[in-house]
């Protein structure tokens, strides 16, 4: 099977405050940048079967998500798959999330894609919409971290002439 080169997979929930940042970031990238060669952007809320297919279709996947580790809200991390797989909990064995899907594919003898997690520490994952002030400030830096990761892989990231604002994207996804 010929695999596609690269995808960005955003994970999150826009009805739980900062947990939506990955979805906002992927929509922001999609609205404001063009990529050469092409990068597929897959927005969260992907059903398990579809998520399994995503991991089987691509050579490389950049996962955008929040991560709850001891650090200040807005702190950003880049983890290779080997590192973030060590964060696994019993919840990850239910095969509905990223780690569960990777574990299932590995047990089935499938070749895993190269996966990188670009994560940001949330301030609040309580019910509500929009981002907390602790994540509004570093949003541009999070986008730049994603762009740099793509450029390091030889992908050209060109800003579009007409840009959407983060506020418009948040409003579109939460209305």
Please give the DSSP secondary-structure letter assigned to residue 47: -
Which residues are paired to 121 by β-bridges? none
pLDDT tens by residue, 2-14: 788 999 999 988 8
**Whole-structure pTM value:** 0.90
R_g of the chain computed on alpha carbons: 16
- Going from N- to C-terminal start, the domains of the chain cover 4-170
| Alpha carbons 147 and 158: distance in angstroms, whole number | 10
CATH of domain 4-170: 3.40.50.1450
pLDDT more than 90, % of the chain? 60
pLDDT tens by residue, 74-99: 999 999 888 877 766 554 455 557 88
Query: What are the counts of helices (DSSP H) followed by strands (DSSP E) for the chain?
Result: 7, 7
pLDDT tens by residue, 32-53: 999 999 999 998 765 556 788 8
- Mean of per-residue pLDDT scores for the chain: 88
């Amino acid at each position: 099977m010929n695999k596609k080169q690269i995808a960005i997979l955003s994970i999150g929930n826009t009805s739980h405050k900062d947990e939506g940042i990955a979805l906002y970031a992927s929509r922001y990238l999609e609205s404001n940048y063009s990529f050469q060669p092409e990068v597929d952007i897959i927005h969260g809320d992907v059903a398990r079967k579809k998520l399994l297919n995503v991991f089987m279709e691509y050579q490389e996947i950049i996962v955008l998500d929040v991560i709850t580790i001891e650090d200040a809200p807005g702190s950003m991390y880049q983890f290779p798959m080997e590192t973030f797989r060590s964060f696994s909990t019993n919840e990850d064995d239910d095969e509905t999330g990223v780690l569960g899907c990777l574990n299932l594919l590995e047990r089935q003898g499938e070749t895993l894609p190269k996966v990188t997690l670009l994560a940001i520490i949330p301030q609040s994952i309580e019910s509500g919409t929009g981002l907390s002030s602790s994540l509004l400030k570093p949003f541009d830096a999070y986008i730049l971290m994603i762009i740099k990761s793509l450029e390091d892989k030889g992908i050209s990231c060109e800003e579009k002439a007409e840009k959407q604002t983060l506020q418009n994207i948040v409003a579109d996804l939460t209305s």
